[in-house]
Amino acid sequence: MSATGENRRGGVNRWVEIGLLLVLVGLMLLATNATQGGGRSHVLAALGFLLLAGTVVANVLEPLGIPHLTAYLLAGMAAGPYALHLVDHQAVTELSPINALALSLISLAGGAELRISKLISAARSLLWATLLQNVLVLVLMAGIFLALRPMLPFVAELPFTVVLGVALLWGVVGITRSPSATLGVLSQTGAKGPLATFTLAFVMTSDVVVVVVLALVFTVTRPLLEPGSAFSLGAFRELGHEVIGSVALGSTVGLLLAAYLRFVGRQLVLVFVALGLVMTQVLDYLRFDWLLIFITAGFVVQNLSAQGDKFLEEIDRLGEIVYVIFFATAGAHLDLPLLAQLWPAALALTVCRAGCTWSAARLSSRLANDPPSIRRWGWAGLVSQAGLALGIAAKIQKEHPGYGAGFAAMAVATVALNELVGPILFKTALDRSGETASHGDVDEPTATPAVDPAH
């Protein structure tokens, strides 16, 4: 078939999909009016609508080069309680266990993508990036927060010492990343190469680093935020219990999954659903980090058994559904009026964070002598933010309600901007580096390249 015929056929398909989307909106309006009291039927209708609408919007916007994740977010935002009201607050809240299931599967897949051989080959890059992206960016974002103090009404009247403590906590929010966005873009594009490997390895390990940094900053800033309080090492004991316990439990879960794959190998979807729905609730009660547990479990299956490829294949079967649920629900949950109110300060903090991330990436790439694709585009996959940033903000709001509400609101606004723009930047970087499936696979270097005198 000629290229003209293909283009004509693609155009017809897109119009059909747009028509389908309009029909879905009409049906959802009818369902919403018929179930005004809410209930389980409305929640199921909301879930089905978000799945279908997110998929259709992604297909319609794909010719524009917009990543599927961004399309899912836009579909959720349009359908949510702040726009078309097709999905109300109650439905969004009741979908949270489904969202936890999706995030647990994303974490399992992320851990399984971390192969020891790739981590070793990228160790120098990861070490420099971890140091600079966490320490340098934290300090820079804290300084920027202080400089933007007049634009932040929730700290404008606070003493400078308290604002300094809040700024350091904002620095921690600034170094969080989004494993779900990274995996979603890689799943859509099928990207392979140095940039894809580096970004995946860095983002999946950064959550652990951020948890440690958060405990450190909380301990250091407590005397600033609570005058008269004493410096305490209790937070580090709790952190050790959480991290070591999570890794140990994750290793056990990984070994059990590997054994199940080896000796049974059936009904894996039910096993994944049971893990996601049941374990997340139990582990939260036990104060373990269930994301770290699932990442560790996936890592163990991949590297300590022969079941890694089969494991990833089974998760990939659920891949598109998982990402639609997670990001469409996240879009429906975004508080659009709040974003409209805070957008000047949120935009300033978002742009500054992107600039700090770019600067740290350029410096770490030079020190690590990274391949050209990482030197140029290594920052692009580190812009997206998601659940961890919001979790930190919620913790601060709970412990410091006076200014914590404003802090949490600003975090929601900046995360929304980063989550909309981040996937676009990362997909563009993978396309420009020639690592996406449409550009062919890129062989990864087996050793650190020689120093280029020109750099």
pLDDT of residue 33: 67
C-alpha closest to that of 76 among 62, 60, 57: 57
Q: What number of residues does the chain have?
A: 455
Delineate the domains of the chain, giving CATH numbers in brackets. Answer: 3-94 (no CATH), 98-439 (1.20.1530.20)
CB 427 within 8 A of CB 67: yes
- Which amino acid, 227? P
Which pLDDT does position 12 carry in this prediction?
64
User: What does the pLDDT read at residue 128?
Assistant: 95
CA distance 242 to 332: 31
pLDDT in tens, the chain (455 residues): 454 544 555 556 777 777 877 887 887 777 666 655 556 667 778 888 888 888 888 888 888 888 888 888 888 888 888 888 888 888 888 887 777 778 788 888 888 888 888 888 888 999 999 999 999 999 999 999 999 998 888 888 888 988 999 999 999 999 999 888 898 898 888 888 999 999 999 998 887 788 788 888 888 888 888 766 666 666 667 777 778 888 898 899 999 999 998 888 887 778 887 777 777 767 666 667 777 888 889 999 999 999 888 888 888 777 678 888 888 888 887 778 877 878 889 999 999 999 999 999 999 999 999 999 999 999 999 999 877 787 788 778 778 878 888 888 888 889 888 988 999 999 999 999 999 875 544 444 443 443 343 33
Can you give 351-387 as a three-state secondary structure string? HHHHHHHHHHHHHHHHHHCCCHHHHHHCCHHHCCCCH
The secondary structure of residue 418, as a DSSP letter, is H
| Overall pTM surpassing 0.85 (yes/no) | no
Q: Which residues contact 102 (CB under 8 A, 6 or more apart)?
A: 276, 322, 323, 325, 326, 329
Tell me the C-alpha distance between 119 and 147, whole Å. Answer: 38
For residue 438, what pLDDT is reported? 59
The pair of structure tokens assigned to 314 is 């089974």
Beta-carbon contacts of residue 197 (< 8 Å; ≥ 6 apart): 118, 121, 122, 444
Q: Could you tell me the two tokens for 110?
A: 């992320």
Compute the distance between CA of residue 90 and CA of residue 439 in angstroms, rounded to an integer. Answer: 44
244: burial class by Cβ within 10 Å (0-12, 13-18, 19+)? exposed
Nearest alpha-carbon partner for 409 in 395, 390, 422 = 390
What is the distance between the alpha carbons of residues 388 and 431, in angstroms, rounded to a whole number?
A: 27
Say what the pLDDT of residue 144 is.
96
pLDDT of residue 36: 58
Q: Which residues have CB under 8 Å from 36's CB, separation 6+?
A: none
Give the Cβ contact number of residue 365 at 10 Å: 25
CA distance 37 to 80: 17
Residue 94: partners with Cβ closer than 8 Å, 6 or more residues away: 43
The predicted structure's pLDDT at residue 449: 42
Question: What is the CB neighbour count within 10 angstroms for residue 60?
Answer: 19
Interacting residues of 305 by C-beta distance below 8 A, sequence separation 6+: 254, 255, 258, 261, 262
Lookup: tokens for 297 = 């479990």
